[in-house]
Chains A and B, each alone.
Chain A
Amino acid sequence: MATGYRQITYDGLWSNNIILGQTLALCPTLAVTNTATNGLGMGLATFAVLIMSNLVVSLFRDIITPEVRIPIFVLFIAGIVTIVDMSINAWLHELYKVLGIFIPLIVTNCAILGRAEAFASKNPVRHAIADGFSMGLGFTLVLVVIGGIREIIGHGTLFANASSLLGHSFNFIEMTIIPGYHGFLIMALPPGGFIVLGIILALKQNHEIRKKSRLATVNIEPMLINMESSLS
Chain B
Amino acid sequence: MNKKSAVEPGYRNKISYHTILLGGTAFVFGALITFAHITTHDDIALRLQEDMLASLHQVLPPAIYDNKPLDDTLTLKPDGPNQAGLKIYRARKAGKIVGVAFEITGTGYGGAIEIIMGVDKDGKILGVRVISHHETPGLGDKIELSKSNWITKFKGLFFGNPKKDKWKVKKDGGYFDQFTGATITPRGVVKAIKHGLELFEKNRSQILGIKTPLKTSLNGTTIFFRRYG
Contacts and interface: CB of A to CB of B under 8 A. Distances in A.
Interface stretch (A85-93, A138-146, A201-209, A217-225): A85-93
A219 to B, nearest CB: 34
B: interface residue count bin: 20 to 34
Contacts of A66: 1
> Interface SS of chain B: helix, strand, loop or mixed?
helix
Nearest to A187: B138
A151 B139 CA distance: 12
Interface of A: 32, 34-35, 38, 63-68, 71-72, 75-76, 78-79, 82-83, 86-87, 89-91, 93, 151, 154-155, 161, 164, 182-183, 185, 188-189
Given A65-B17, A75-B25, A38 B137 contact: yes
B223 interface: no
B138 A90 contact: no
Contact of A182 (B21, B47, B138, B180): B180
Nearest 5 A/B pairs, CB to CB: A90-B43, A79-B29, A90-B40, A93-B47, A86-B40
Contacts of A82: 33, 36
Contacts of B180: 182-183, 185
B18 interface: yes
A188 B139 contact: yes
A67 B137 CA distance: 41
Most buried by A among B17, B51, B139, B180: B139
Contacts of B36: 82-83, 86-87
A65 B18 contact: yes
Interface in B15-61: 17-18, 21-22, 25-26, 29, 32-33, 36-37, 39-40, 43-44, 47, 50-51
Nearest to A98: B146
B181 A89 contact: no
A35 B40 contact: no
B44 A72 contact: no
A90 B47 contact: yes
A38 B147 CA distance: 13
A164 B18 CA distance: 46
Given A65-B12, A67-B18, A87-B40, A75 B33 contact: no
Contact of B21 (A63, A90, A188): A63
